[in-house]
Amino acid sequence: MSETTNAVQKKAEAMLTADHCLSCTSCMSSCPVMEATKEYRGPKLVGPAHNRMRFSQEDVEESLDFCSNCKSCDRACPSGVEVSTLNMLQRAEYYRTHPHSQRDDMLAHGERMAKMVRMFPMGATFANLGMKIGKALGIFGSMGIAGERDMPAYASSSFLSMFKGIQQKPSEKKVVFYPGCFINDNNPEVGVAFVKVMQKNGYEVLVDEKFNCCGSPLVVTGYLDEALEHAHNNVSRILEWKRKGIPVVACCTSCSLMLKKEYGELFDEEEMKEAAENVYDAFEFLAMLEEEGKLNTEFKSLSQSLLYHVPCHLKSQGFGTPAARILGKIPGVKVELADAGCCGMSGNYGFKQDKYEISMKIGEELFGRIKTANADKVISDCGTCRLQIQHGGHVEPCHPIEILEKAY
Ligand code: SF4
Ligand code: SF4
């Protein structure tokens, strides 16, 4: 079966869920983009209604481009309509007959760019300098990237190179860490903290260099065939680890959602659903240890107030907020949920110049909460949520795993 046939076939299945729409409008009241701009016609009309009414593949709802794939609509829908999937499949169909912009090509292919950067000695330093110059000269702005934002800087060493230098205590109990692009190339400290936490819990951490980007940036920019190639590679790796009885754990909620749920929703292959059973988000895995009475809770006191922004893509995984509960066990730590909805960043959405204002408007509630909460630290499990918190909230956030690591 060709990749195109596969995506189109899935389209027919998602269409069936469109027929379950009751027009209750729950998705509309939960859509952060619809609240931020009148230009977006909203999940009900763009997703199920348009997909039921359209007469040809070329007939694409013109406000579709505003959807950020935050998935709030899917969570709100009482009828199981795959609204965000309908939107992403419709977007992919549009790009089968329309060219991508240079900006979208760049935003979708972060992994490719990082690989090029790391081919050269001091590549990260020169690339970071180049991005600063590019911003100052308005080059990114002319490409349609929000000039107000800094592109995330490359870390001097990737997580995969840093991992080689970590001395671990060998153990029978093992997990494979899936770093994803952002942790590997921009925020490797999160991966290092994860390894240390797992070691404190008696696990040895492995990595698999054959994994590639989960494909989330490709899906939201309409490169669905490429995303399917990534899915096939990653799923085959996950299944190999599954056969060995070793779970795969991710620290970025958009990566874990993609590996666990979105592959199945978008491409509907049996192997993807089987692989999903072997993938966990980091705190989901730690919560399992906690339930079994196996979580190391010998914490030292930290005396810190934390404001926790729960990413949309964590909420979509439906396992609650175990990070808040686990961090709350650390003596002296007080965790408060920001409860301020979507941060507005949604992966690469907030980097687009034409979406910047919408992104910042969506984030206003969270920025306000950050200001009034006056916490010692803001925490969030998603790398791009942390970028938005840094940009709009003017604080330096971290991943909850970094706090847990400090407590050991
Ligand atoms: S995925 Fe998010 S932005 Fe897109 S329609 Fe649903 S709620 Fe709105
Ligand atoms: S929440 Fe679901 S059922 Fe209600 S309008 Fe939206 S898609 Fe239709």
Q: Is 22 in the pocket of ligand 2 (CB under 6 A)?
A: yes
User: Sheet of 377-379: strands edge to edge?
Assistant: 333-337, 304-308, 377-379
- Going by CA atoms, what residue is nearest to atom 8 of ligand 2? 21
Asked whether residue 107 falls in the same domain as residue 90, the answer is: no
User: 286: number of CA atoms within 13 Å, CB side?
Assistant: 26
Nearest CA to ligand 1 atom 7: 31
Single-letter amino acid, residue 167: Q
Contact 49, 12 (CB under 8 A): no
Q: Would you call 125 helix, strand, or coil by DSSP?
A: helix
Asked whether residue 173 falls in the same domain as residue 211, the answer is: yes
Rounded to 5°, angle at Cα 136 from 130 and 137: 90
CA pair distance 162, 144, nearest whole angstrom: 34
Query: Could you report the per-residue pLDDT of 362-391, keeping only the tens digit for each?
Result: 999 999 999 999 999 999 999 999 999 999
pLDDT for position 223:
95
The average confidence (pLDDT) of the chain is 93
Residue 21 Cβ < 6 Å to ligand 2? yes
Same domain, 130 and 239: no
Which of these, 302, 303, 306, lies nearest to 399 by C-alpha position?
Answer: 306
Last residue of a domain, one of 238, 255, 288: 288
- Give yes or no: residues 302 and 385 share one domain: yes
For ligand 1, the distance from its centroid to the CA atom of residue 138, given in whole angstroms, is 30
Distance 73 CA to ligand 1 centre (A): 5
pTM, entire model: 0.94
Q: Which ligand is nearest to the CA of 346?
A: 1
Interacting residues of 80 by C-beta distance below 8 A, sequence separation 6+: 17, 20
| Residues 121 and 89 occupy one common structural domain | no
Domain count, the chain: 4
93 and 123 housed in the same domain: no
* Burial per residue of 162-184, b for 16 or more beta-carbon CB atoms within 10 angstroms, e otherwise: bbeeeeeeeeeebbbbbbbbbbb
Q: Which of 83, 85, 257, 348 to mutate to test the pocket of ligand 1 (most atoms within 8 A of CB)?
A: 83
Domain termination residue (choose one: 85, 112, 143) = 143
Other CB atoms within a 10 A radius of the CB of residue 394 amount to: 10
Q: How far is the CA of 78 from the centre of ligand 2 (A)?
A: 7
Q: What DSSP character marks residue 307?
A: E
Q: Is residue 150 a part of any domain in this protein?
A: no
**pLDDT tens digits for 126-160?**
999 988 898 888 888 889 999 999 999 999 999 99
Read out DSSP for 27-57?
HHHH-HHHHH-TT---HHIIIIIHHHH--ST
Spacing, Cα 293 to ligand 1 middle (Å): 38
Q: Which of 118, 143, 168 delimits the end of a domain?
A: 143
Is 109 within a domain? Answer: yes
Residue 109 has pLDDT above 80, yes or no: yes
